[in-house]
Chain A
Amino acid sequence: AQTVTQSQPEMSVQEAETVTLSCTYDTSESDYYLFWYKQPPSRQMILVIRQEAYKQQNATENRFSVNFQKAAKSFSLKISDSQLGDAAMYFCAYRSARDGNQFYFGTGTSLTVIP
C-alpha cells in the first residue's frame, strides 16, 4: 500500500519569508500524481498545487512551488513571501493513476505565519 509521510507536525514562518514543508511517499507504481492540499480552520480542503509523476519539471503556482524528486520519492512544498492567509494545515497527498478518486494523505503540517 502507498504511504505518505510528513515529518514536520508544526512549522512557523515570519510573514514575507519563505518556508518549505517536507513530504516523502512510498509506492511501487510509476504513474501517479502528487498534491498539496491546504485546510484552514474552516475545514475546507483546498488544492494548492499538483504534480504529475511523469513530468520532470517542478510545478509552480504563484508563490507556491514544489521540489519533486522522483527517485528519492520526495515532494516538498515551498511557500514564498508567506502571508497571514497561508496559515493552515497542509496535507501532502498521493493518487495512483489507476485508482480513481482514492487519495492517500500524510498526517499534515500545521503552518503558523508570524506577523
Chain B
Amino acid sequence: KAGVTQTPRYLIKTRGQQVTLSCSPISGHRSVSWYQQTPGQGLQFLFEYFSETQRNKGNFPGRFSGRQFSNSRSEMNVSTLELGDSALYLCASSNWPYKGQPNTEAFFGQGTRLTVV
C-alpha cells in the first residue's frame, strides 16, 4: 500500500508570491490534515478535510487555505508569502471516522520544505 505522498519535496519562493502544495493520502483514507512545522513553533495544526469539506481549522491567517478533491487528494495554498511562512509542511491521512477502529493513528508524508526569500 503506497504511503502519503507530498509534492513537491522542496520549494523556494519569493516574498509576495503564492504557493500550492499537494498531498495524496493513503488509498481509502478520506481524512487529510495539514501541519506547519517550524523550529520556533513546533507542529501546528492548519486544517483538516474530510469528503471535500473542511472540518477543522487552526489559528492561521486567511492567506492559508486548502481544499480536497473527490479522490481525497488535498492541496493547500499560501498567498502573499511572508518570510515567516518558511517551514516544513506536513500532511497526514487517516481513515477517520474509523468505523470500528477508533484508535488508528495518522500517517504522515515526508513533507514539503518551503523556503521564502
Q: Return the contact of A97 from the options B102, B105, B108, B113 (Cβ within 8 A).
A: B102
Task: State whether the Cβ of B33 lies closer than 8 Å to any Cβ in chain A.
Answer: yes
Q: Return the contact of A33 from the options B97, B103, B113 (Cβ within 8 A).
A: B103
Tell me the interface secondary structure of chain A in the complex. loop
Interface string of B84-114 (1 = CB under 8 A from A): 0000101011101100001101111111010
Q: Return the contact of B92 from the options A97, A101, A104, A108 (Cβ within 8 A).
A: A101
Q: Report the count of interface residues on A (CB-CB < 8 A).
A: 24
B residues less than 8 Å from A106 (CB atoms)? 42
B residues less than 8 Å from A107 (CB atoms)? 42
A residues less than 8 Å from B55 (CB atoms)? 100-101
CB of A50 within 8 A of CB of B105, answer yes
What's the Cα separation between A97 and B101 when bound, in Å? Answer: 11
CB of B94 within 8 A of CB of A45, answer no
What's the Cα separation between A91 and B35 when bound, in Å? Answer: 14
A–B complex contacts, Cβ < 8 Å, 21 sampled:
A35-B105, A37-B108, A43-B90, A43-B110, A43-B111, A47-B107, A52-B102, A52-B103, A99-B56, A100-B96, A101-B31, A101-B48, A101-B50, A101-B55, A101-B92, A102-B33, A102-B56, A104-B45, A105-B35, A105-B42, A108-B43
